[in-house]
């Protein structure tokens, strides 16, 4: 999965295994198809042991990349009630694309991906979904910075590492963000998820997982406490009585201000948004229009983006450790 500066096609060819976004809770998780089943990708063995390529680029030394990656891993491990750990093993001369059984992070120059800041690839046990190897490259075509306060005109390595390590740990993309078209690509106006597929402008820091990211990580690596202390919203999005595929659902808590989102990915328009703190939520459905659909959902799925954004007319209460009543959001064509 890739992190782009401007809109670009996901570099699927980089993936060592077929990796899809699965129609699970909230945010998207990565999964692989085994027979007719989707299996969630995750590290089954912890800590996640990783190497850093011993190569400097202007603005970021290998040691600074190690430190930034360490902080990014720690940020994910700091999500409440998840069981995650990582261990820096050492520097390596290997590139982060080698398929050598080691998890490697490092800089590589990819002129063929001139809009891609970074990308994560996987080798997966397709029976268990266990991640055998995952590598992250950061494209040294771009200007990078490891400065604690960021630097104008340079991408912050910790921000981008946080996003790519999110992928490495199994998260797909989130669509909690707004963009505008700029030329042939998109520019982010705002985002409330580290896992939004398009990066903030160079020089802007984005180093803290948000509620949507936390819900996703909790879904994959959450402890029993996470599952018993959070709940979910389940329902359908329909248009003229039939299910809407690819609707983006946002659950907003007026009490906390937190946004957690998900998609309807089944033909009947059903969705589940998980990892929510108990309480009352405002639910909103919108078409998938802030990025390339393929950034979020496997390309074989045909999405319906022909409807107006709409709110569900009732507050939805999320119980602790359970699921809300099933709700139906009826949308109308644009």
Partner 1 sequence: MNRALAVLAAVLLVSTSASAQTYPGSTTPGRIEISGGVVWIGGYEAGSRDATESANSSTGGAPLTLFTTSSRVSSATGFDARVAYFFGSRVAAEGLFQFSQPQLRVKTGDDFESATAATVVGTVSSYLFGGSLVYHFGSGRVVPFVHGGGGYLRMLDEDNADVTTGSEAHGGGGVKIWFGTGKSRLGVRADAQVSSRSKTPGFEDKRRMLGTVGAGVLYRF
Closest to partner 1 by CB, 47 vs 319, is 319
Closest to partner 1 by CB, 22 vs 179, is 179
Place of tokens 């998609």: 263
User: What are the start-end ranges of the H helices in 99-147?
Assistant: none
Residue 318 three-state SS: strand
Q: How many residues does the chain have?
A: 334
Nearest approach, Cβ of residue 193 and partner 1 (Å): 8
What is the rounded radius of gyration, in angstroms, for the C-alpha atoms of the chain? Answer: 19
Residues 6+ apart with CB under 8 A from 24: 31, 40, 219, 272, 274
Longest dimension (CA), the chain: 58
Burial state string for 274-298 with b = 16 or more CB within 10 A and e = fewer than 16: bbbbebebebbbbbbebbbbbbbbb
Nearest approach, Cβ of residue 310 and partner 1 (Å): 6
Closest to partner 1 by CB, 12 vs 153, is 153
Nearest approach, Cβ of residue 73 and partner 1 (Å): 22
Nearest approach, Cβ of residue 278 and partner 1 (Å): 6
Place of tokens 């999964």: 31
The count of other CB atoms within 10 Å of the CB of residue 120 is 25
Instruction: Provide the binding-site residues for partner 1, judged by CB under 8 A.
Output: 150, 152, 176-178, 187-192, 200-201, 203-206, 210, 231, 250, 252-255, 257, 259, 278-280, 282, 284, 286, 308-315, 317-320, 322, 324-325
Closest to partner 1 by CB, 69 vs 250, is 250
Find out whether 230 and 211 touch, Cβ atoms under 8 Å.
no
Closest to partner 1 by CB, 101 vs 333, is 333
Nearest approach, Cβ of residue 252 and partner 1 (Å): 5
Nearest approach, Cβ of residue 158 and partner 1 (Å): 15
Closest to partner 1 by CB, 83 vs 308, is 308
Nearest approach, Cβ of residue 320 and partner 1 (Å): 8
DSSP 302: P
Beta-strand relationship, 116-124 and 131-139: antiparallel
Q: Which residue, 325, 297, 308, is CA-closest to 239? A: 308
Find out whether 295 and 301 touch, Cβ atoms under 8 Å.
no
Closest to partner 1 by CB, 243 vs 309, is 309
Find out whether 68 and 58 touch, Cβ atoms under 8 Å.
no
Closest to partner 1 by CB, 74 vs 332, is 332
Nearest approach, Cβ of residue 239 and partner 1 (Å): 15
Nearest approach, Cβ of residue 156 and partner 1 (Å): 10
Closest to partner 1 by CB, 20 vs 271, is 271
Residue 163 three-state SS: helix
CB-based burial of residue 27 (10 Å sphere; 0-12 exposed, 13-18 middle, 19+ buried)? buried
């Amino acid at each position: 999965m890739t992190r782009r500066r401007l809109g670009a096609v996901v570099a699927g060819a980089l993936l060592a295994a077929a990796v899809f976004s699965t129609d699970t809770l909230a945010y998207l998780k990565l999964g692989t198809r085994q027979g007719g089943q989707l299996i969630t990708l995750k590290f089954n063995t912890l800590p996640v042991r990783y190497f850093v390529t011993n190569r400097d680029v202007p603005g970021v030394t290998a040691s600074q990349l190690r430190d930034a990656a360490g902080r990014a891993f720690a940020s994910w491990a700091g999500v409440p009630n998840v069981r995650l750990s990582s261990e820096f093993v050492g520097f390596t001369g290997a590139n982060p694309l080698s398929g050598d059984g080691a998890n490697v992070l490092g800089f590589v120059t990819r002129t063929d991906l001139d809009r891609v800041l970074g990308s994560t690839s996987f080798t997966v046990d397709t029976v268990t979904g266990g991640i055998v190897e995952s590598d992250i490259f950061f494209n040294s075509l771009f200007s990078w910075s490891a400065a604690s306060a960021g630097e104008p005109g340079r991408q912050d390595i910790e921000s981008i590492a946080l996003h790519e390590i999110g992928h490495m740990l199994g998260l797909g993309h989130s669509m909690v963000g707004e963009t505008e078209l700029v030329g042939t690509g998109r520019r982010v106006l705002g985002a409330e998820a580290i896992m939004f597929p398009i990066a903030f402008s160079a020089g802007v820091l984005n180093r803290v997982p948000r509620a949507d990211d936390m819900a996703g990580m909790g879904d994959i690596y959450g402890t029993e406490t996470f599952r018993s202390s959070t709940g979910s919203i389940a329902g359908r999005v329909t248009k003229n009585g039939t299910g809407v595929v690819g609707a983006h659902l946002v659950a907003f808590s007026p009490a906390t201000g937190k946004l957690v989102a998900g998609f309807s990915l089944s033909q009947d328009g059903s969705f589940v948004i998980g990892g929510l703190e108990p309480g009352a939520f405002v639910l909103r459905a919108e078409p998938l229009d802030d990025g390339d659909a393929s950034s979020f959902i496997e390309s074989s799925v045909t999405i319906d983006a022909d409807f107006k954004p709409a709110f569900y007319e009732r507050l939805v209460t999320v119980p602790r450790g359970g699921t809300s009543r099933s709700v139906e959001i009826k949308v109308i064509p644009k």
